[in-house]
Amino acid sequence: MHLKPLSRKGYYFIFDAFLAIFLIIVAFTIFFSKPVTVPTKSRAISTANDIISYLSTIRIEDVNDPFIGVGGVLWNSSDITNPKNTLLQQIGEFYRLDKNELAGIFIEKSLINVPKQFNIKISISGVPLYPDEDKYSDERSEILVKSRAVVFGEYMPTKEMWGPYSFEVEVWE
C-alpha cells in the first residue's frame, strides 16, 4: 500500500486560520480598549470661561434650587436679600460680609453640573472660597488655566456699594 504525499493545500488553510484568529484578536483589542484621553488646554479654558460666564449672567431669581434660589434656605434665612443679584454678585456679597464658608457652599450648589474630570478652585481677592485647600492640589497637573473677572454690587439692606473684587477661577485636569 502506497501512501499519497500530503499536498500543500493544508498548509494554506492552517496559515489562513492563524491569520484569521490574529485579526480577530486585534479587532477585539481595539474595540474593547479604553480610549486614551489627553488633557487639552482648550477644554480647560472653555470650562473656566463658562463658569465665569454662568456665574455672572444667571440671577438668583432664575435659579430653581431649594438652597440657593428665591424661597430657598438662604432666602428664608435672609442671607440672600436681592433676587436681582447674579450668582457672582451674591458670592461677592458673601465675601464682603465675611461669610466665606457660606460662599463656598453657595458655589458648590451653583456648580453642581460641572464635569467631575475638572478640578476647580475659586477665590476672591486671593482668598480661596471653593473647595477646601486640602482637597485638591494643582501641583502635579499638566494643564492649569486661570480666568478672572471683576465683581461689585450693592448691599440691599443699607444700599451700600461694595467691591470691586478680583474673582478668579482655576481649572486643572
* Model pLDDT for residues 31-80, shown as the tens digit of each residue: 888 776 666 788 889 999 999 999 999 999 999 889 998 899 999 999 99
Q: Is residue 1 in a domain?
A: no
**pLDDT score, position 41:** 83
Q: Is residue 22 in a domain?
A: no
Looking at residue 171, its amino acid is V
| Residue 168 grid coordinates | 478668579
pLDDT digits (tens, 9 = 90+) for 84-142: 999 999 999 999 999 999 999 999 999 988 877 788 999 999 999 998 555 556 566 77
Q: Is residue 9 in a domain?
A: no
Q: Which of 1, 3, 94, 9 is nearest to 55 (CA)?
A: 94
Provide the residue range defining the domain that includes 75: 41-172
Confidence of residue 11 (pLDDT cuts 50, 70, 90): low
Number of domains present in the structure of the chain: 1
Is there a contact between 84 and 91 (Cβ–Cβ < 8 Å)? no
Find the mean pLDDT for residues 138-164.
86
